[in-house]
């Protein structure tokens, strides 16, 4: 009987944690600053204070850009279409994103977990996927 109660409580706890995570991603989706044009607009989730900047490297041309991250963790990077690698200062992980032609790529990037970075699309269901 005790094992059944413990199992039921664990199942309820996992459902509540999943709902809380999805609700927080949903709130993050609403603060992404969208802009007309081509590039990346997003929010960086980290533990503690967000970094002051984000390093963006053009994978095809090798150009490096520095993009300012605002106090709420949002950033805007007007970039031409292409493949870009984003990296936080002092963090060894990087994310590769493809900027489509004529569109602004809107994402939430979650760096709070140790070995994986999660990408959440700005529109639709806030279902994270590993990058």
- For residue 21, what are the domain limits? 2-130
pLDDT tier, 63 (very low <50, low <70, confident <90, very high otherwise) = confident
With 0-12 / 13-18 / 19 or more C-beta atoms within 10 angstroms meaning exposed / middle / buried, residue 99 is: buried
Residue 94: which CATH number? Answer: 2.60.40.1120
- Asked if the model's pLDDT at residue 95 lies above 90, the reply is no
Q: Sign of the CA dihedral 40, 125, 70, 131?
A: negative
Q: What pLDDT does 126 receive?
A: 66
- The overall average pLDDT reported for the chain is 82
Total tally of structural domains belonging to the chain = 1
Are 105 and 41 spatial neighbours (Cβ–Cβ below 8 Å)?
A: yes
Inter-CA distances, 58 with 96, 121, 126, Å? 10, 21, 27
Confidence (pTM): 0.73
CA dist 2 and 36 (Å) reads 57
Residue with the larger pLDDT of the pair 94 and 24: 94
């Amino acid at each position: 009987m005790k094992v059944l109660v413990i199992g039921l409580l664990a199942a309820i706890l996992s459902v509540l944690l999943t709902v809380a995570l999805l609700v927080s991603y949903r709130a993050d989706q609403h603060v992404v600053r969208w802009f007309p044009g081509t590039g990346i607009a997003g929010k960086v989730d980290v533990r503690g204070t967000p970094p002051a900047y984000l390093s963006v490297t053009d994978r095809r041309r090798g150009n490096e850009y520095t993009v300012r991250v605002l106090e709420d963790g949002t950033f805007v990077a007007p970039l031409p279409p292409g493949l870009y690698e984003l990296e936080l200062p002092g963090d060894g992980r990087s994310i590769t994103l493809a900027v489509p032609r004529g569109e602004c790529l809107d994402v939430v990037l979650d760096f709070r977990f140790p070995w994986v970075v999660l990408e959440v699309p700005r529109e639709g269901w806030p279902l994270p996927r590993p990058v």
